[in-house]
Chains A and B, each alone.
Chain A
């Protein structure tokens, strides 16, 4: 009897440490020649999948990424971390600009069905569009339960017990399998891929697909009218002492006088 199968969504995004620049024509942000990496929340998702495999809860990990050819680098990272095989759903650069979580969710949901997986995991949000939608939408399309913003996951009989990060603290829910969960920062500390594993990852299977293979229409549902720089804050001043600071704040009416 084999264990469960898990599908992990991995997005290639501009590296979190990069200070992004808005294009002068206001159509988007500059992505050419900018360092990209796996969305940090997706790394946590991959890590959790790998730990589930190590605990023998799951038997196979499939990683998926939608986007241009370079997404394969992100998939190779997932494979090096311990995923067994990968699916790259290729979307050309122009279409990718308008690819939305709904489209990605439809693709992931189709793959989940085709691959007969029991668990789908994504990061809670991608740090580029900051949408925080995909996992929830996959769950909706499959009509599976969802456990979002997970900070702790335990597998019990036929279900997952999940601790979720909510606004006032933590919440515990139970979801029946099959299920979708999305990873929060506190779920785990992702491992680094070691060199031997990076070498091994090159030999693991990676298949290329397109949205059409899954019958998913990727027509844009939204039009991005413009992308601008946020207002720049006026540079402030450095003060010499705590006294001066309190005086300034009192003058501004910001502290009780």
Chain B
């Protein structure tokens, strides 16, 4: 049996031996056990939340996990996060909810979370570990991967099979398909590329017992979150975004008025953020948020490669710009060459009027 030179999969092979008597030593059974191994996929999805509520992007990540196949466990780690665990148990496709409730997880410091994940992985031996490609997922998964000595895969937009994934490179100007040769696939998932998983599941909850060690290396001080009643940028059905053409932060008021009529989130280009019109977390683009709403209205945005990277998968793109040569018109379904200060209030009014 040990003729199969799969060092890393040996523990799994042992598991099979324990549960099944159908294998005897020899090459034949080795082949069969490998076929069985292929079916023994188990995915861990690291749940994103703020201890109160589940982040919607986790639902998209669960869908990506479903495409990989195999049993899906979701890990909720946080502080007083039982409400979140209940929400997660209702996601369709999830077999098990693992919960680790500890004050040390406040702030999701990678120096605390990573050793815990490492210990959990040593114990439960998942074949896939997934997280959403958010600030938290991007911060933690590469650290975990290095600890496990595997090469992670960032921000996938497609799953071909359990080891073949699709992702974008060069600000979305090329699509790369790659096959991971690693025993454990550590992957972050671009939420907008997958549908949200439905609710209606009923997964069992289990507390994890891995040791939690408080970090001596880092300390969480606090957060300053931008407050907004509008929908969240990455999950909104409609997004209204302003660029340098807005000229000032006050002028964004006309975008907020339009956004409220459309129940839209408000985004911005890097130029608008750099000019100090709006805060950074509103930036749409290669290095900001990636959005793919049904309707994206780009206002006073020229359409640089880096901005397009963040929105060109939107279903319908509208561009309002007074420069007819602006590159944004090359991707816009509907373009309006007009002064935005005239056009935007007019559109808001037309929508109100019906």
A interface residue numbers (CB < 8 A to B): 14, 16-17, 19-20, 22, 29, 41, 100-102, 105, 124-125, 127-134, 136-141, 144-149, 151, 161, 164-176, 179, 184-186, 220-230, 233-239, 241-243, 245-246, 248-249, 252, 254-257
- Segment from B81-89, B198-206, B311-319 that makes contact with A: B311-319
- A158 CB to closest chain B CB, in angstroms? 12
**Complexed CA–CA distance, A172 and B220 (Å):** 7
Report 28 cross-chain contacts, Cβ distance below 8 Å, ordered by A residue.
A101-B152, A132-B138, A132-B155, A133-B142, A133-B154, A136-B140, A138-B146, A144-B217, A146-B143, A146-B218, A166-B223, A167-B134, A167-B281, A172-B223, A220-B181, A221-B150, A225-B179, A233-B331, A234-B333, A236-B334, A237-B333, A237-B334, A239-B336, A242-B343, A246-B351, A249-B318, A249-B334, A254-B316
- B287 CB to closest chain A CB, in angstroms? 6
The 4 closest A-B pairs by CB, nearest first: A140-B146, A221-B151, A136-B142, A137-B146
**B151, B219, B224, B294 — most chain A CB neighbours (10 Å):** B151
Chain B residues whose CB sits within 8 angstroms of the CB of A16 once the complex forms: 305-306
From A146, which residue of chain B is reached at the shortest CB distance? B110
Q: Are A132 and B179 in contact (CB under 8 A)?
A: no
- B230 CB to closest chain A CB, in angstroms? 13
Q: Are A222 and B175 in contact (CB under 8 A)?
A: no
Given pairs A130-B154, A237-B333, 14 additional interface contacts (CB within 8 A): A101-B152, A102-B145, A125-B287, A132-B155, A167-B281, A171-B107, A173-B107, A186-B273, A222-B153, A227-B175, A230-B175, A242-B338, A255-B351, A256-B263
Q: Are A245 and B147 in contact (CB under 8 A)?
A: no
From A140, which residue of chain B is reached at the shortest CB distance? B146
From A103, which residue of chain B is reached at the shortest CB distance? B151
Q: Are B217 and A176 in contact (CB under 8 A)?
A: yes
Q: How many A-B residue pairs have CB under 8 A?
A: 256
- A13 CB to closest chain B CB, in angstroms? 9
Answer whether A161 and B221 are a contact pair too, CB < 8 Å, given A225-B177, A230-B174, A249-B295. yes
- A185 CB to closest chain B CB, in angstroms? 6
Answer whether A140 and B169 are a contact pair too, CB < 8 Å, given A229-B174, A246-B351. no
From B349, which residue of chain A is reached at the shortest CB distance? A242
- A45 CB to closest chain B CB, in angstroms? 14
Q: Are A252 and B151 in contact (CB under 8 A)?
A: no
Q: Which of A14, A145, A167, A257 contacts B111 (CB 8 A)?
A: A145
